[in-house]
Amino acid sequence: MPALYFSMFIKFLNNIFTSLLSISPWISLGLFILYIALDVIYSNYVFSLNKLHAFNSANFSTILIFLTGIATFEYVHNLWYLLPMCLGAWIGSYISVKVEKKKKKKRADARKLLKKIV
């Protein structure tokens, strides 16, 4: 019985290393960039939903489904592609929140300026 488990473990490791060696750097880079864009779009989708902008939310939703479908085809074949996708998503979220904070600060500053003028 232990020999069977050891054999299964060796096959498992072989599959992991085989899939790791079959990663294309160009596909990884493409997925990384795609997921930066995808997460920025998703963040804008959430911001549009919060502001109740139906047309923008619908457009962002359509783009999200399309891009997610493209990415899904790649990582289904090799789960190692999840690494650049996760890194891209992290960077995309970080960028989106930083940009939204700057916009919010500018709006607050503009309101303060308007109150001083009026």
Per-residue pLDDT of the chain (118 residues), as tens digits, is 566 666 776 776 677 777 767 778 898 898 899 999 999 999 889 989 998 899 999 998 999 898 888 878 777 777 888 889 999 999 999 999 999 899 888 888 888 877 777 6
Tell me which residue of 29, 38, 31, 39 sits closest to 76, measured CA to CA.
Answer: 31
Please give the pLDDT value at position 105.
87
Integer Cα distance of 12 and 5 in angstroms: 10
pTM over 0.75: no
Please give the pLDDT value at position 1.
56
Tell me which residue of 75, 71, 76 sits closest to 35, measured CA to CA.
Answer: 71
Tell me which residue of 37, 5, 19, 40 sits closest to 82, measured CA to CA.
Answer: 19
